[in-house]
């Protein structure tokens, strides 16, 4: 991030991307577009001072750093499902590190986002069912 962004957090994703390092900006714009296409009903916000997509709770996040970019999947099971496709990238917990020179494949991002949507839908469905289970019908 540029120095001025570190002092003043972005209000929206456009501001965040405008302040991102030039090398990372184009790859993050492509990542944003890919996430939007895979999750058209997701809300795009800034959370934890980084771009966040929400759909029935946190869906995915991304961020730019001096020497790399990160894609936050938020789900260890999803990371395990795609572990073989993630081998070319450094991963830690639920985070995938990548660079402008080695960006995440669009097809992989779409699969991960769609899997996260399914996870969140299932969680909401289970919560809704359990939330009503105490009612008398």
Q: Which domains does the chain carry?
A: 3-132 (3.90.1150.200)
- The CA distance from 110 to 102, in Å, is 17
Condensed to tens digits (0 to 9), the pLDDT of residues 65-119 reads 989 999 999 999 999 999 999 999 999 999 999 999 999 999 999 999 999 999 9
Condensed to tens digits (0 to 9), the pLDDT of residues 77-87 reads 999 999 999 99
Q: Sheet containing 69-72: give its strands across.
A: 43-47, 50-54, 58-64, 69-72, 95-98, 90-92
Full-model pTM: 0.86
Is residue 4 scored above 80 in pLDDT?
no
């Amino acid at each position: 991030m540029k120095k001025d962004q570190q002092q003043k957090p972005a209000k929206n994703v456009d501001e965040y991307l405008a302040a991102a390092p030039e090398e990372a900006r184009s790859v993050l714009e492509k990542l944003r577009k890919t996430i939007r296409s895979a999750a058209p009903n997701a809300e795009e916000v800034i959370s934890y001072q980084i771009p966040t997509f929400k759909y029935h709770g946190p869906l995915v996040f991304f961020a730019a750093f001096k020497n790399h970019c990160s894609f936050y999947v938020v789900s260890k099971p999803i990371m395990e499902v795609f572990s073989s496709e993630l081998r070319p990238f450094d991963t830690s917990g639920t985070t995938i590190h990548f660079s402008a020179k080695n960006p995440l494949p669009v097809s992989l991002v779409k699969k991960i986002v769609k899997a996260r949507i399914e996870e969140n839908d299932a969680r909401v469905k289970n919560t809704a069912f359990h939330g009503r289970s105490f009612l008398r019908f």
